[in-house]
Amino acid sequence: MAGYLAKKCGMWTKCAACLESVITDGSDIMKDIQSNEPSSNCAKNFKTDSVRIEAPIQGALCAYIKTKYSVNCNNTIGELGQCVNVKNCQPILKLLQNQRLKISDFLRYFICNTDHQNPKVCCPTVSELKHGPLFPPHCGIPVQNEKEINQSDTIITFPSRISTGESAKLGAWPWVAAIGYESEVNLNEIEWKCSGSLISSRHIITAAHCIRPNMLVVRLGDLNLRRDDDGANPVDFAIEKFEIHPYRNVIQKTHDIAVLKLQNDVHFTDFIRPICLPIFDEFSNENFIDRTAIIIGWGKLGEANEKSDHLQQAKISVVDQQNCKKVYRRFPVIIDENVICAGDSMGQGDACQGDSGGPLMLSINNVFYEIGIISYGIVCGHPNIPGVYTAINRNLDFIISQLN
């Protein structure tokens, strides 16, 4: 038997590779593998004009092939599935019909093999694709919006001046996260120095410069960080790990973004839910110039003021990068397509110290998308001096790579 195989395969150790050459997507053996048939059924189809396998070694060879061609997989949104040609995956085909995603960008989140000529996707074994990090349920919809949209198709209004003190309402921004650090003065105290945004049941995005050795905790669902009578029921989460963008440059302040992974899953409520990411194709090359955006945070109420204990909010406008480059020309920073510049021409709305890591948000059809992360600026709330924000649509590959 061994001599026969050696003649056909070249040598015994190449036998399995020789057999693989007769396996195709439509072959009986592949159908058996994909249906998880036992090895005996697998083996009966292992025969061609050039190669026939004796029964004693059929089981061993089939076990090898079934292991290598195992179709069991997990996709990036947490679904168990099978690795099949996308044409044979109805849940993903159905989702593609209902989403405004560029097909190539969408499929890369589900690819489960490295054969570019014959790409396969991790197809869920259920008929409907569940929500996950790419499509979290109720993302970007504050509870007030949800109720008011259902009643009168209206949306809540947003006052200006984060740096001059316009307070947010309870539940207005259920994805905002406060990041706490061990106090350098009192080890029993937590100092809330940065913000972030919940984007899945386990992940927070924030600014890379918010990552520090004494970072301790992420708080969700809070409104006033120092008071217990604000109606909020905050929940604190330990941080399992974090990843900073590999191209982060501290001097040039490029790719100022990090992803935190929480130790435990977040239970979504009316007051704790994720914001949407701008994953749709229409966002891929958008610069958002002249669009009105919203920023939130617990930072300073002005250049000379103390930080706010109560969550603040402001409206600002995305501005042209040429003007932004002029403002920052004296600094070694890079202003390019990887950042967004935004501010208020009257100086009545701006991010300030302590707001870092928080979201720059855009409302589209009453759903909020995070388009930027508060990164840096020169001064707070001065006319025609915009702040700089890390562009989310230019960093999606990094973000998605962490959602596993």
Instruction: For residue 256, indicate whether it is catalytic.
Output: yes
Higher pLDDT, 46 or 235: 235
Higher pLDDT, 262 or 13: 262
Q: What percent of the chain has pLDDT over 90?
A: 40
CA count, 13 A, side-chain hemisphere, 322: 0
Q: What is the pLDDT of residue 12?
A: 38
Q: Give residue-wise pLDDT tens across range 196-255.
A: 999 999 999 999 999 999 999 999 999 999 899 899 999 999 999 999 999 999 999 999
Instruction: Measure the CA–CA gap between 345 and 140, rounded to whole angstroms.
Output: 27
**Three-point CA angle 125, 126, 130, nearest 5°:** 115
Q: What is the pLDDT of residue 130?
A: 45
Q: Which of 222, 256, 344, 350 is catalytic?
A: 256
* Three-state secondary-structure class, residue 354: coil
* Average pLDDT value for the chain: 76
In the chain the domains, ranked by start, together with CATH numbers, are: 2-68 (no CATH), 72-124 (3.30.1640), 281-393 (2.40.10.10)
User: Average pLDDT in the 280-303 region?
Assistant: 82
Instruction: Measure the CA–CA gap between 330 and 7, rounded to whole angstroms.
Output: 74
Residue 379 corresponds to which tokens in the numbers above? 């001064």
For residue 165, name the pLDDT band (cuts at 50, 70, 90): very low
For residue 200, what is the DSSP state? S
Residue 98 has pLDDT above 80, yes or no: no
Instruction: For residue 267, indicate whether it is catalytic.
Output: no
For residue 10, name the pLDDT band (cuts at 50, 70, 90): very low
Q: How far apart are the first and last CA of the chain?
A: 46
Q: Which of 200, 201, 356, 375 is catalytic?
A: 356
Residue 360 has pLDDT above 70, yes or no: yes
Q: What is the pLDDT of residue 279?
A: 80
Instruction: For residue 356, indicate whether it is catalytic.
Output: yes
Higher pLDDT, 264 or 78: 264
Residue 261 corresponds to which tokens in the numbers above? 């992974």
Higher pLDDT, 341 or 54: 341
Q: Which helix (H) or strand (E) holds 57?
A: helix 55-68
- Cα 150 to chain centroid distance, Å, stands at 28
What is the sign of the dihedral through the CA atoms of 65, 401, 89 and 87? negative
Q: Give residue-wise pLDDT tens across range 167-198.
A: 899 999 999 999 999 998 888 889 999 999 99
Residue 373 has pLDDT above 90, yes or no: yes
Q: Give residue-wise pLDDT tens across range 294-340.
A: 999 987 665 545 778 899 998 999 999 998 999 999 999 999 999 99
Residue 34 has pLDDT above 60, yes or no: no
